[in-house]
Amino acid sequence: MLANALIGLREGLEAGLVVAILVAALTRLGRRDLLPRLAGGVIAAVVLSLGVGAILTFGPYGLSFQAQEILGGALSLVAVGLVTGMVFWMARHARGLRGELEERARGAALGSALAVVLLGAVSVGREGLETALFVWASVRASGDAALGALGAVLGILVAVGITVLIARGMVRVNLGRFFFVTGLALVVVAAGVLGYGIGELQEAGVLPGGSAIAFSLAAIAPLSSWWGALLAGLVGFTPEPTWLQVAAWLAYLAVVLPLFVRVARPRRQPRAVLPDATRHPAPAVEHRAA
């Protein structure tokens, strides 16, 4: 649940800040009449993300056990790749994100109504699809669909609340440090999903070594215990991992964590705030990731 709450919080805040920047840009351009079209694009992106989540949840039920394992394992690896790429992309491009979005808003405002709808859909759709896929993979790894979905929803709701407070100028948030810390946490979560995906493919016979158990912690932290369930929900813990799962988990963390710290370590800069577009002529948000 906590891992999915983190995913919802991180992705929800990204999407919320993107929408807030676009709203502020259109307002500054004197095109508040385009805001309903922007909202339509955002709603379309949310509906698409929910549809993808529903397909991932209910679609595989008609498949054989082996096919479900292959699908689950393959999509888990895809989710790890998407989330890893997302945290690195945000680390590299966040500082110029505001300017890029403002330029897109300016171009859409000069174009057709469809351009504004597409701007909202594309700007939010990426975060929505990433959230749907990674939450689904994380839920499969933890084995608790209800709590996993609840955690994601709570994280998104908190993200919406934080976005509104930032947009109103009621709170100041060091976004660079926030995305750095949550990025570190997501890398650890992704390592667990990677191990789970490999385990699924081993059970399906796609990868070898499914019977080569590295060690057993079933007596110490069974999944039926609260601490075992907590670890499973946080980092995709399994009490009896295979050697291939352990090797993949260690290799991923050994490579990705140092690289992410090097790229994304926040620098000391003045905190930035996203002001209320109705009170200030220009938005002043910058993610400030290094």
Contact call for residues 207 and 76 (beta carbons, < 8 A): no
Contact call for residues 4 and 236 (beta carbons, < 8 A): no
Mean pLDDT by groups of 10 residues along the chain of 290 residues = 80 86 85 87 89 81 83 90 88 74 80 79 84 82 71 87 82 79 88 90 88 84 72 74 93 94 69 47 43
Q: Residue 268: its pLDDT value, please?
A: 56
Q: Please report, for the chain, how many H helices and E strands are present, in that order.
A: 9, 0
Secondary structure class of 242 (helix, strand, coil)? strand
Contact call for residues 44 and 121 (beta carbons, < 8 A): yes
Q: Residue 255: its pLDDT value, please?
A: 95
How long a stretch of residues is the chain? Answer: 290
Q: 187, 198, 151: which is closest to 4 by C-alpha? A: 151
Burial category of 255 from C-beta neighbours within 10 Å (exposed 0-12, middle 13-18, buried 19 and up): exposed
Q: Which residue has the tokens 């930032």?
A: 166
The amino acid sitting at 138 is S
b/e 141-160 (16+ beta carbons within 10 angstroms → b): bbebeebbbebbebbbeebb
Q: Residue 260: its pLDDT value, please?
A: 92
**Measured at the alpha carbon of residue 121, what is the angle toward residues 115 and 127, in degrees to the nearest 5?**
145
